[in-house]
Amino acid sequence: MSTDATWLAGPASPSSTAALPTHTGPRRADGGGTGNEGDPGLPEPGPRAVGFAVGTRLDHGAGLGRTGLIRTPHGDIRTPAFIPVGTKADVKGLVPEMLRDLGAQAVLANAYHLYLQPGADLVDEAGGLGRFMNWPGPTYTDSGGFQVLSLGAGFKKVLSEEFSGTGDTTDPRLRMQAVKASRAVVDEDGVDFHSHIDGTVHRFTPEVSMGIQHQLGSDIMFAFDELTSLLHPRDYQEESLARTHAWAARCLAEHRRLTEARPSHPYQQLWGVVQGAQYEDLRREAARTLADMEVEGQRFDGFGVGGALEKENLGRIVSWVCEELPEDRPRHLLGISEPDDFFAAVEAGADTFDCVTPSRVARNAAIYGPDGRFNITNARFRRDLTALVEGCGCYTCTHYTRAYVRHLFKAKEILAATLATIHNEWFTVHLVDGIRASIEQGTYPSFKADVLGRFYA
């Protein structure tokens, strides 16, 4: 890598799909395959288009990495790809045109938050999530399972301690707290929770989650699952996994019913979520169960890898899962955005990623650069009239200086968060684009060494 981080300068790979091999894609909800059985490749773009094709395979690491293409009714997603998070139908501080210009291929929103505010029925009336937020490309929605248990069940403190590294996962008191917090709201049918907005009581079941996500109209949605953490003991993990798989089957049945009830709407892909915490046998069992699951002719169009993952074991756990999943369906790793995690996950077979971190830390003046993260409010940037990152092609770096962005933060101007978020999302999107390009060009090992060698120096 050159000293000016040329991978940040612009698009990292061509948009052509000609190099992708053909294969039969996932089955449609009506049981008719991809909608293009005369051609074993991807279906032509259209309201019923669903498919995934593997491109270049990565001969590095676990041997599971690959490039590919996900086809949706609202456009294609070239993988590996980072999907910015627009929790409440917006990436905070940005308008959709900014997302398009920084290179985002899709956006992920949150079913829990949109159910509470403004209501999934209103989004449906507006024409679906994309039209409601004026985003023309593909959209993802999560099931709300994480938020129901972390926000609605008062479980946030336990999760925060665990993910921040301040909680002792071997402490029996913390483990008991985690189990009690779960069992207080979870039963075999669904989850009761309190709104974090006004305290009102609500209930999610697999059928409710599917109904909300169908109303939201996302191109890719996730099955309702139970979140567990590393604090939960083995016996609870097993109990939870069985419940998640029962819910997954109910999600498939309800997804098929709702798809048939709304024939004028574009087809929405449903991806199952693989849980199992840090246990290899549970992760592999979960992956096999969801891969083989079929209800009334409906199967999962792709898969998410969920739950708490120990950073040092992330690649190993993802590889356990991807070794069991079918090659012809895409895999999404929920909630990661650190450079080393991207490389580990891609090598282990993950195709797409999402995380709130790039925009969240941007609002606190933290800026991503090829030499690591830095805080733009530091005094040394007061008179620095260079770009946030020299050579970066984002709007912020091509129009503004470190001194100016620092001034905005110090003056508490709203524009500060917008300019910082543009840059951080650009950095993250283009980092994963760079990984994709390096796989296609056969330069992955050197690209990885250059990126991680600089970022963590």
Give catalytic residues, as residue numbers. 142, 354
Contact 71, 25 (CB under 8 A): yes
- CA–CA distance, 455 with 422 (Å, rounded to integer): 19
Contact 66, 54 (CB under 8 A): yes
Contact 111, 213 (CB under 8 A): yes
Q: CB neighbours (10 Å) of residue 165?
A: 9
H or E element that contains 375: strand 372-375
- The three-class DSSP label of residue 76 is strand
H or E element that contains 69: strand 66-72
- The three-class DSSP label of residue 121 is helix
Rg (CA), the chain: 21
What angle, rounded to 10 degrees, do the helices at 234-261 and 172-183 form? 30
The owner of tokens 């409601």 is 132
Q: CB neighbours (10 Å) of residue 156?
A: 15
Q: Identity (one letter) of the amino acid at 416?
A: A
Tokens of 13: 């790979």
Query: Edge-to-edge, what's the strand order for the sheet holding 81-84?
Result: 81-84, 352-355, 331-334, 302-305, 269-274, 220-222, 139-142, 107-110
Q: What is the bridge-based pairing of β-strands 139-142 and 191-194?
A: unpaired
H or E element that contains 213: helix 206-216
Alpha helices in 93-205 (DSSP H): 96-101, 111-116, 120-125, 129-133, 145-150, 156-164, 172-183
- The three-class DSSP label of residue 438 is helix
Q: Both ends of the chain: CA-CA distance in Å?
A: 14
Please give the C-alpha separations between residue 454 and each of 11, 136, 143, 337, in angstroms, as whole numbers: 21, 36, 37, 17
